[in-house]
């Protein structure tokens, strides 16, 4: 009889196969943890930005109601009027935990910190982002009225004597705001208003909808004067479609439309005493930054009406350009109104106003949807 041997078949895994499976599971588990951690970090940063914006909104309501910002803002506590009669926030948000994560690990106790400044006319609100979020850089950051910004900004290496852009040459001016002799962001400005009729990509702008020619010596526009005072732009076209504070807009590469905060720093550098350094929202009553205004305005009556008191000691060379709104040219040779890239709310955009009658600098808002004003660029 023939003998048969049964072949033994193994239904299990070898040791090597088991080890491979374990390694793969470990890798997948690690990746899953990293993805979950990253998602949670971004969610916390989103809440931080949302919290700061909510607090800023409440602060703007308070300053409109009481004329000054509150003396204190405390996380976890209600935000009320000075007499306690009105409640603007039932509970001020707190920094989500863990606070010591990402770029904030060196700030383990970093809560939202509010400080009132300029005799109640301004404030700082500090916080920290664990990672880059929504165009904001990771790390400690500071919010001020109307903007959220990080205080650590890389300095510009030099302030060139001139910049060529879209067929025009712009002279520049350096204002040593920090007083250290170095060229930092916000200190190298174009000495002239923008006069481009093209977008950065070379696309032509539309005369009448994107920009209009200036009317300096009469209510009739004269496009030739744009070489001296610049064109007047609708805000959205000036910003090239962006709504981000400090966006490049129509400026040359490496430059951006000056922000409200950068104008403020410029003014205070030229007039560091009251009322210029304490008056955040200025009107035409009182000598509001008249020393700084005189230093910024071109002297004489070539581009200003009689009575102009400008001395242009800063070399900034502001000239009258008027404005255009609703088919009407306003105040030829009497006024200039200059856009910033900063939004107050909705279509209301911050601007600066200079007049021939006095040297005051008015900080106000203008409807960006139907107003055409000039603009200045500042180096990144």
Contact of 226 with 214, CB cutoff 8 Å: yes
Helix (H) / strand (E) element for 113: namely strand 113-117
No. of H helices and E strands in the chain? Answer: 5, 19
ω into 275 cis (within 30 of 0): yes
pLDDT of 350 > 90? The answer is yes
Q: Could you tell me where the DSSP H helices lie in the chain? A: 15-66, 226-229, 235-238, 260-270, 290-296
Query: What is the rounded CA–CA span in Å between residue 340 and residue 88?
Result: 29
Nearest to 293 by CA among 282, 272, 309, 277: 309
pLDDT of 364 > 70? The answer is yes
pLDDT of 158 > 50? The answer is yes
**For the ranges 6-10, 17-21, 65-69, 232-236, which has the lowest average pLDDT?**
6-10
Query: What is the rounded CA–CA span in Å between residue 155 and residue 184?
Result: 4
pLDDT band at 152 (very low <50, low <70, confident <90, very high): very low
User: Could you tell me what percent of the chain has a pLDDT over 90?
Assistant: 46
- What does the block give as tokens for 369? 């949807």
Sole residue written with tokens 């006024």: 335
- What does the block give as tokens for 12? 């299990």
Q: What is the pLDDT of residue 107?
A: 56
Nearest to 125 by CA among 56, 79, 62, 69: 56
Query: What is the rounded CA–CA span in Å between residue 89 and residue 80?
Result: 7
- What does the block give as tokens for 140? 């400690």
Is the pTM higher than 0.95? The answer reads no
pLDDT digits (tens, 9 = 90+) for 184-210: 777 899 999 999 999 999 999 999 999
What average pLDDT does this structure show over 357-375?
92
Query: What is the rounded CA–CA span in Å between residue 94 and residue 107?
Result: 15
pLDDT of 154 > 90? The answer is no
Contact of 124 with 143, CB cutoff 8 Å: yes
Q: What is the pLDDT of residue 37?
A: 55
Q: What is the pLDDT of residue 40?
A: 85
Q: What is the pLDDT of residue 362?
A: 87
pLDDT of 178 > 90? The answer is no
pLDDT averaged over every residue in the chain: 85
Query: What is the rounded CA–CA span in Å between residue 256 and residue 135?
Result: 15
Query: What is the rounded CA–CA span in Å between residue 237 and residue 254?
Result: 18
Q: How far from the centroid of its chain's Cα atoms is residue 40's Cα?
A: 28
Query: What DSSP designation does 207 have?
Result: B
Q: What is the pLDDT of residue 255?
A: 95
Work out whether the CA dihedral 227, 233, 238, 241 comes out positive or negative. negative
The Cβ of residue 140 has, within 10 Å, a number of other Cβ atoms equal to 17
What average pLDDT does this structure show over 124-148?
82
Contact of 353 with 345, CB cutoff 8 Å: no
Q: How far from the centroid of its chain's Cα atoms is residue 211's Cα?
A: 22
Please give the residue that has the higher pLDDT: either 354 or 272.
Answer: 354
Q: What is the pLDDT of residue 156?
A: 44
What average pLDDT does this structure show over 19-44?
73
Q: What is the pLDDT of residue 3?
A: 52
Secondary structure (DSSP) of 307-373: T-----TTS--B---BEEETTEEE-TTTEEEEEEEEEEETTEEEEEEEESS----EEEEEETTTEEE
Q: What is the pLDDT of residue 153?
A: 44
Please give the residue that has the higher pLDDT: either 237 or 136.
Answer: 237
What average pLDDT does this structure show over 171-191?
84
What average pLDDT does this structure show over 247-275?
90
| Cα-based distances in Å from 171 to 45, 99, 196 | 41, 46, 14
pLDDT digits (tens, 9 = 90+) for 281-336: 555 445 578 889 999 999 999 999 988 999 999 999 999 998 899 888 887 789 89
What average pLDDT does this structure show over 133-156?
69
Contact of 218 with 324, CB cutoff 8 Å: no
């Amino acid at each position: 009889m023939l003998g048969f041997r049964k072949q033994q078949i193994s239904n299990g895994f070898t040791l090597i196969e088991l080890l491979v499976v374990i390694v793969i599971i470990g890798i997948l588990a690690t990746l899953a943890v990293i993805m979950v951690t990253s998602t949670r970090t971004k969610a916390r940063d989103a809440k931080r930005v949302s919290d700061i914006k909510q607090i800023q909104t409440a602060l703007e309501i308070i300053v409109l109601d009481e004329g000054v910002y509150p003396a204190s803002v405390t996380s976890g506590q209600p935000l009320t009027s000075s007499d306690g009669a009105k409640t603007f926030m039932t509970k001020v948000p707190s920094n989500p935990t863990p606070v010591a994560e990402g770029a904030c690990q060196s700030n383990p106790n970093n809560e939202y910190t509010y400080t009132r400044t300029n005799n109640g006319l301004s404030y700082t609100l500090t916080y920290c982002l664990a990672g880059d979020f929504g165009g904001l850089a990771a790390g400690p950051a500071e919010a001020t009225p109307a903007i959220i910004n990080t205080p650590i900004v890389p300095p510009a290496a030099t302030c060139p004597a001139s910049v060529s852009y879209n067929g025009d040459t712009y002279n520049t001016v350096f204002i040593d705001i920090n007083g250290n002799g170095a060229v930092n962001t916000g200190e190298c400005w174009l000495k002239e208003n923008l006069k481009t009729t093209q977008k950065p990509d070379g696309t032509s702008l539309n005369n009448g909808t994107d920009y209009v020619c200036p009317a300096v010596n009469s209510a009739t526009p004269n496009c030739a004067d744009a070489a001296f005072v610049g064109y007047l732009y609708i805000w959205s076209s000036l910003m090239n479609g962006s709504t981000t504070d400090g966006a490049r807009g129509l400026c040359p590469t490496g430059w951006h439309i000056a922000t409200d905060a950068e104008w403020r720093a410029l003014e205070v550098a030229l007039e560091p005493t009251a009322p210029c350094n304490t008056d955040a929202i200025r009107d035409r009553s009182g000598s509001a930054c008249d020393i700084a205004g005189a230093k910024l305005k071109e002297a004489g009556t070539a581009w200003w009406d009689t009575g102009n008191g400008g001395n242009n000691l800063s070399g900034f060379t502001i000239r009258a350009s008027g404005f255009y709104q609703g088919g009407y040219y306003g105040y030829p040779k009497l006024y200039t109104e200059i856009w910033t890239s900063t939004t107050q709310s909705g279509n209301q955009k911050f601007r600066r106003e200079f007049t021939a009658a006095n040297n005051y600098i008015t900080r106000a808002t203008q409807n960006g949807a139907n107003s055409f004003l000039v603009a200045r660029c500042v180096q990144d």
